[in-house]
Amino acid sequence: MNKKPKIVILGAGYGGMMTASRLQKANAYQDADITLVNKHNYHYQTTWLHEPAAGTLHHDRTRMKIDKVIDTNKIQFIKDSVAEIKKDEKKVILEKGELDYDYLVIGLGSEPETFGIPGVKEHAFSIRSVNSVRLIREHIEYMFANYNKQEEKHDDLLTFVVAGAGFTGIEFVGELSERIPELCEEYDIAREKVKLYSVEAAPTALPGFDEELVEYAMNLLESRGVEFKINTPIKEVQDGAVLLADGEEIKSQTIVWTTGVRGNPVIEKSGFEAMRGRVKVEKDLRAPGYDDVFIIGDCALIINEEINRPYPPTAQIAIQQAYTCANNLKALLAGKTDMEEFKPDIKGTVASLGGKEAIGKVGDRKLYGNSASAVKKIIDNRYLFLLGGMPLVLKKGKLNIF
């Protein structure tokens, strides 16, 4: 009797979870032994993390237990961290053991990109996990609570610097600018005492986004007290200060780093040829030279040939990659050699600005304010529906659309 081939999926982010879900729905577990590996026993919505970081959403709303979404009788789940992939031996080295595979799916996500700027890892917070955003929220609240305890007022306690004005940075600034008045009232602090900076090295906030929408976002956030420093690179992050390239120093006890990501360090450690931890995959999402390894999500580099630049590593693309990856795995299990090519279908992009405000572009249509915010929630709920059906939407979704 022939043994079933082994499929190992590394990472339970958008790509890994959706790949596992699609394989389960296709009954692929009947033809293969499928294992999902993740360092936590839960999956979380990365695109929601800016909200619990600011304290406008409880962190538990962003996460769901893996065994509540995936049937672990059909797909084995192992809670462990990946140390290295020995691709020539077809083995995955975990912190607590090892796995061999016939087909491997790498969806290990990313880590913050520091661009070599000194002090970032030591002195800045990052929005990257449930634990990291819980720490940010608690730290911000502690700064407010501590301010009035000081006989000599230290303004750096109430100065908040967000490095990076891309999607994550702008969404976090939007949520925090909504939360600050509540915190001021709770801790009896005048709103004008609080400073909130958005610092961006590029010539514009939300680089690459529609100019009219960017202008709307910046005007709205400035009306809430956000001060933008655009075209202003950060030279160094120190304990209690940010040094800008123009020589200015901003004293702050809260520096949040949102300047982009690079692929998981396991990629480079395992000997894959990569750029910023991302592998330029083949059109069928396989690693060059390794027909048994698929790479999806933040670890995969896909070039937009129209502009000859990489597609940004978004949840939308990771979910679409999971569909292609699952289809190709099913084809391989059926003995087929023709693989489906991955073609991104960017349906639109929406950025929340806190409260019921957002901006977005869906097709050729520009969205502002409440309508954009409603579309953002619909997109979030759609993902939950694709992953776990209506029960998951009802349990974790944002049902108050308007």
Q: Are strands 82-86 and 290-295 parallel, antiparallel or unpaired?
A: unpaired
- CA distance linking residue 194 with residue 186, whole number of Å: 14
Length of the chain in terms of residues written: 402
The answer to whether the beta carbons of residues 29 and 74 sit under 8 Å apart is yes
What HEC string does 94-146 produce? Answer: ECCEEEECCEEEECCCEEECCCCCCCHHHHCEECCCHHHHHHHHHHHHHHHHH
Q: List residues bridging with 251 in a β-sheet.
A: 241
Sign for the pseudo-dihedral over CA of 218, 224, 230, 233: negative
- CA distance linking residue 229 with residue 302, whole number of Å: 31
The answer to whether the beta carbons of residues 186 and 148 sit under 8 Å apart is no
Contacts 24+ apart (CB under 8 A), 91-98: 92/8, 92/10, 92/37, 94/37
Cβ-count burial of 309 within 10 angstroms (0-12 exposed, 13-18 middle, 19+ buried)? exposed
Which is the catalytic residue, given 51, 171, 178, 200? 171
Q: Going by C-beta distance under 8 Å and a sequence separation of 6 or more, which residues neighbour residue 256?
A: 53, 124, 125, 126, 127, 136, 160, 161, 162, 163, 172
Q: Is 171 a catalytic residue?
A: yes
- H or E segment and range at residue 351: strand 348-352
Supply 188's token pair: 């009896």
Cβ-count burial of 348 within 10 angstroms (0-12 exposed, 13-18 middle, 19+ buried)? middle
* Residues with catalytic roles: 171
